[in-house]
Chains A and B, each alone.
Chain A
């Protein structure tokens, strides 16, 4: 094209395409600069709105304090205003301003009708806005006692084709109300649609549940067969953190042959956190399992089971072919306070790997220096 030999029509076509791209890119640049300026304007506007809401909330809180009175008009104003997402964002920022204020829960408790109206209105909005509303509810539902089933029924309806962020925010919202039914509904939806939700998110999310967690655990565990694996794994993790009432249940479960590997690992971890005498023999068996992963976790769990049999199994595990079994066995022995004299046979033995590992952990604990 740089040469006189090339046809004019080719040159024109080439320039036409490049000019077209040029025009679009110029529009993008123009939009980007415009957007930066808009952001500055928007921030100022948001601050102004936030200040207005702060004044409004202060006045209403004072009214509540003095006369236990909350006018309907305020509810209607909020219903109308908070449909606008920007106003909802400013309102949330204003509420955050009162975070430490003891009166905030009283004020929030009057807002349930507003939330009922908002969940309906936000059905028409896009998923990002719905996710924002769900997160807003998750933040204040427990404080404001927004427990009305209608709110959560509507939120669960948002799940249709929802993004991971919307699903997560809806889950966070359902954890903030006491009825396990809604949590189960979301879990079922995820299961039925084979939607992956990381077990860590399930576990950490459930840990935010501020009500009677024993009942929640029982109800969720009862339905566990209806949930897919990531949820069950998260649930076991949650139970491990929160309850020692599942020793016998998990003990029985751990003896099942068909149990999934991941589930088995998590159940073994449960017995590290919660001592169960009956589980000792089972853990000792698992410390000799064929699967490396099982041995690694079982040897780790045995740190809480101080007995001659355990010590001897752990010493044997120090010579295991798997590095992590040796490492965990060494850590467990020291964690249960086994003295150096009891370990002399290993320290002066012939297994170099066992010696190295034990010496390292002894050195870490400051028991030997070399």
Chain B
């Protein structure tokens, strides 16, 4: 029996060594390439190497909302201050049960109108439509029966007038120049069909008319750790994957899409939780299947500040949804690997998401279980394990701090002295504890998930720390 356990442990150890080496190598490459690209981008902006024009392509901003009475008025007011000449705003209320619509009707001079909508993609019908124009920006508010976020976005696409659309969440604040930035990859490269913007934590900033006036690390531990986690996980990995158009996720909180391609691919799926990731994966497979030359780009200069959950319960809800969404999306497109294994997007991105994002938490939990098993059979090399934990923790801290400081310099943020200390503290707790806690949450995500299909994931919102000068 002991011999069998020893052999088993040997095999498990080898698998873990390979897995951890591979994962460490990925993280290393992320940070290395991210650092080079960010430095280069920073220099490009300083030396005016950018496509900067007075007029760009017209854009439709689609904001799907469900029970967003706390933030929605501020979010729309924020959009009215964008440095962009030609865009429209389409707000889709997906059958809210709170006062989302009432708040909007109070805040803006909407007029109810009978507007025909071209149904290019399947979605539930519009019930009531309101329109108004403020500062030459047409705002459309559409009330519909509840059908989930994907369904609401599909209606927004159907109602949109322009060839490119941007999706944003109802709790998101865009920086003044965000639209100008997110369209730039399209002007620079005709193959671009979608662009992901950078999503950051709104609780960090005080904004006035779309400009960041102050940046602080939130003192709330849950939010603070998420700030660090976002910096490490999203900035570096997406820049790395962008090198070969390999991003499989464009966050629903801020992304730009070429409308005709999205329509041709069938729009958003309505019976899936991670509709944003699913759409991007479908766009990849659609373009690959049709042998079309394309690019999915990432633009870290286009920044959106989005509210993060402020308590553990909301974090758990959010992460479970994300993990199920990831699972559904990856499972829906095995064709990416079976048919196009030679493409970088399949070989690197698809495999990466399977191995490290979807299965990673399971592997980590399995690893913890084998440690306990090894301990019980006195097979555990305790000094080695402590060493390993320490070096991994330090490595994680190093990566997080690097990503954090990279964001500071690329976005020209002024950092308060005390924030550096708080950032360090948050990073340590996040790496040593929060990360493992999230792994457990993700492993348990599938318990009872079928009951919650197509529902909106809701977290508790609070008012934005944002001021807008009167817009009329």
Chain A residues in the interface with B (C-beta under 8 A)? 1-6, 10-11, 14-15, 17-19, 21-22, 24-26, 28-29, 31-33, 35-36, 39, 85, 89, 128-129, 131-132, 135, 163-166, 168-169, 196, 198, 200-201, 204, 230, 323-324, 327, 353, 356-357, 359-360, 363-364, 370
Contact = CB atoms under 8 A, between A and B. Distances in A.
Contacts of B57: 200
A339 B87 CA distance: 31
B187 A201 contact: yes
Contact of B399 (A15, A25, A230, A327): A25
B380 A22 contact: no
Given A18-B24, A29-B405, A128-B44, A3 B395 contact: no
Given A1-B384, A198-B190, A364-B113, A24 B32 contact: yes
B53 A3 contact: no
Given A2-B16, A2-B370, A22-B391, 10 more contacts: A1-B13, A2-B13, A3-B9, A4-B381, A10-B14, A17-B21, A164-B51, A166-B49, A198-B190, A201-B187
B-side binding surface: helix, strand, loop or mixed? helix
Contacts of B402: 25, 28-29, 32
B379 interface: yes
B15 to A, nearest CB: 10
Contact of B44 (A29, A31, A39, A165): A165
A11 B388 CA distance: 10
Nearest to B414: A40
B48 A131 contact: yes
Contacts of B447: none
B35 interface: yes
A152 to B, nearest CB: 19
B408 interface: yes
A128 B391 contact: no
Contacts of B48: 131-132, 135, 169
Interface stretch (B67-75, B114-122, B270-278, B432-440): B114-122
Nearest to A201: B187
B1 interface: no
A17 B395 CA distance: 12
Interface in B13-31: 13-14, 16-17, 20-21, 24-25, 27-28, 31
Contacts of A19: 391
B56 interface: yes
B32 A196 contact: no
B118 A5 contact: no
A-side binding surface: helix, strand, loop or mixed? helix
Interface of B: 6, 9-10, 12-14, 16-17, 20-21, 24-25, 27-28, 31-32, 35, 39, 43-44, 46-51, 53-57, 113-116, 118, 131, 186-190, 367, 370-371, 374, 379-381, 384-385, 387-388, 391, 394-395, 398-399, 401-402, 405-406, 408-409
Nearest to A205: B53
B230 to A, nearest CB: 17
B191 to A, nearest CB: 9
B388 A21 contact: no
A31 B13 CA distance: 35
B388 A1 contact: yes
A28 B370 contact: no
A6 B15 CA distance: 11
A36 B113 contact: no
B28 A25 contact: yes
Given A3-B379, A32-B35, A363 B43 contact: no
Contact of B189 (A15, A164, A359): A164
A4 B380 CA distance: 6
A39 B189 contact: no
A28 B391 contact: no
A128 B43 contact: yes
A2 B405 contact: no
A6 B14 contact: yes
